């Protein structure tokens, strides 16, 4: 498994794009502010902060369960670490944490919500909160419940994140409010935004906060109106999404190499404002819009 700075295993997580976004910051001459309106696991943001590529990161996530994790790490670090330390990783505890999550998942400031969400993320197949436990409830699978729950490693990551808390701004806003009220007011020359909305095709199967077709369209309309800002948006390759962005932004397919289990190439769309410089770099190969059906 490749190392990431995030404590979360996130469906569709973009940690593997960290060095590419780092490259985009350099060629766009940005070193001050980096923004993730759909923070999720925040793997790219943390990479950039820890590598001193930017002075600060701004994280936003509307999902109260995901937000609660970052809020608790920044505000209740010791209590969160204590829960990791003393909570067993067993099917009995998994069942208990699932019940806790169902009770508190709407509360963005609840430590109980934060830990239950974190626990399920680390012990469920692919980190999907509504998914089943790794190894199955009978624990007969090849991998067991605790295989992604290295306590010392997770505690180390939390302490590292907490140590940079003065350079992390956190919010729990709907993207439709966050974009005009936050991003639109940031300096265009010193800010870079990476929009990574929930997948269009499989979103309802992967995320707690499902974004429907109408909302995807509204989000796209809001993003493309940030004409003077530097931003990229990534999506799964769905025709509807292409139609929302193609008339108003740069449009690419990109291929990203994966080597876990077997070598393969995965395709996604990358959209960008016309003020953003883009090129292929490292494992990311951009195919321009003329090659997109």
Question: In CATH, what number is assigned to the domain containing residue 151?
Answer: 3.40.50
**pLDDT tops 90 at residue 59:** yes
**What is the pLDDT at residue 201?**
53
**What is the pLDDT at residue 204?**
43
Is the residue at 139 inside a domain?
yes
Ramachandran angles phi, psi of 133, nearest 5°? -70, 145
Q: Using pLDDT thresholds of 50, 70 and 90, give the confidence band for residue 16.
A: confident
Give the residue from 172, 124, 176 showing the smallest Cα distance to 149: 124
Is the residue at 177 inside a domain?
yes
Average pLDDT score over residue span 210-219:
81
Strands 250-258 and 264-272: antiparallel
**What is the pLDDT at residue 2?**
62
Q: Using pLDDT thresholds of 50, 70 and 90, give the confidence band for residue 293.
A: low
Give the residue from 55, 24, 20 showing the smallest Cα distance to 276: 24
Is the residue at 160 inside a domain?
yes
Residue 102's CB is within 10 A of a number of other CB atoms, namely: 10
List Cβ neighbours of 109 (8 Å cut-off, separation of 6 or more): 68, 71
Give the residue from 215, 211, 199 showing the smallest Cα distance to 269: 199
Average pLDDT, the chain: 90
**pLDDT tops 50 at residue 259:** no
Average pLDDT score over residue span 202-215:
58
More confident residue, 199 or 228: 228
**pLDDT tops 70 at residue 249:** yes
Is the residue at 210 inside a domain?
yes
Q: Using pLDDT thresholds of 50, 70 and 90, give the confidence band for residue 264.
A: low
* Least-confidence region, from 25-34, 115-124, 129-138, 249-258: 249-258
Q: Using pLDDT thresholds of 50, 70 and 90, give the confidence band for residue 205.
A: very low
Is the residue at 119 inside a domain?
yes
More confident residue, 207 or 223: 223
**pLDDT tops 90 at residue 29:** yes
Is the residue at 280 inside a domain?
no
**pLDDT tops 80 at residue 198:** yes
Average pLDDT score over residue span 22-32:
98
Q: Answer for the pair 188, 228: CB distance below 8 angstroms, yes or no.
A: yes
Is the residue at 54 inside a domain?
yes
Query: How large is the angle between the packed helices 111-123 and 91-104, nearest 10 degrees?
Result: 140
Is the residue at 276 inside a domain?
no
Q: Any idea what the Cα angle at residue 281 is, between residues 182 and 228, rounded to 5°?
A: 30
Query: In the chain, how many domains are there?
Result: 1
Give the residue numbers spanning the domain of 91.
Answer: 15-233
**What is the pLDDT at residue 169?**
98
Cα–Cα dist 106/191, whole Å: 31
């Amino acid at each position: 498994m490749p190392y990431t700075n995030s404590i979360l295993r996130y469906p569709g997580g973009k940690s593997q794009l960290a060095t590419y976004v780092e490259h985009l910051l350099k060629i766009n001459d940005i070193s001050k502010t980096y923004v993730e309106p759909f923070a999720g696991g925040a793997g790219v943001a943390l990479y950039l902060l820890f590598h001193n590529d930017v002075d600060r990161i701004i994280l936003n996530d509307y999902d109260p369960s995901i937000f609660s994790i970052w809020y608790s790490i920044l505000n209740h670090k010791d209590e969160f670490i204590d829960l990791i330390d003393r909570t067993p990783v067993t099917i009995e505890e998994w069942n208990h944490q699932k019940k806790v999550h169902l009770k508190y998942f709407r509360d963005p400031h609840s430590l109980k919500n934060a830990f239950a969400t974190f626990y399920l993320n680390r012990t469920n197949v692919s980190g999907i909160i509504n998914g089943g436990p790794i190894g199955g409830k009978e624990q007969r699978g090849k991998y067991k419940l605790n295989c992604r729950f290295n306590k010392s490693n997770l505690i180390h990551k939390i302490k590292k994140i907490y140590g940079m808390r003065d350079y992390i701004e956190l919010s729990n806003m709907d993207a439709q409010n966050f974009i005009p009220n936050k991003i639109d007011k940031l300096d265009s020359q010193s800010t870079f935004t990476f929009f990574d909305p929930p997948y269009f095709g499989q979103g309802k199967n992967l995320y707690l906060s499902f974004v429907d077709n109408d909302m995807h369209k509204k989000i796209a309309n809001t993003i493309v109106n940030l004409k003077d800002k530097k931003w990229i948006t990534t999506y799964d390759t769905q025709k509807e999404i292409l139609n929302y962005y193609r008339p108003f932004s740069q449009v690419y397919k990109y291929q990203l190499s994966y080597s876990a289990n077997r070598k393969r190439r995965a395709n996604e769309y990358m959209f960008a404002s016309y003020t953003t410089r883009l090129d292929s770099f490292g494992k990311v190969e951009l195919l321009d819009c003329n090659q997109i059906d």
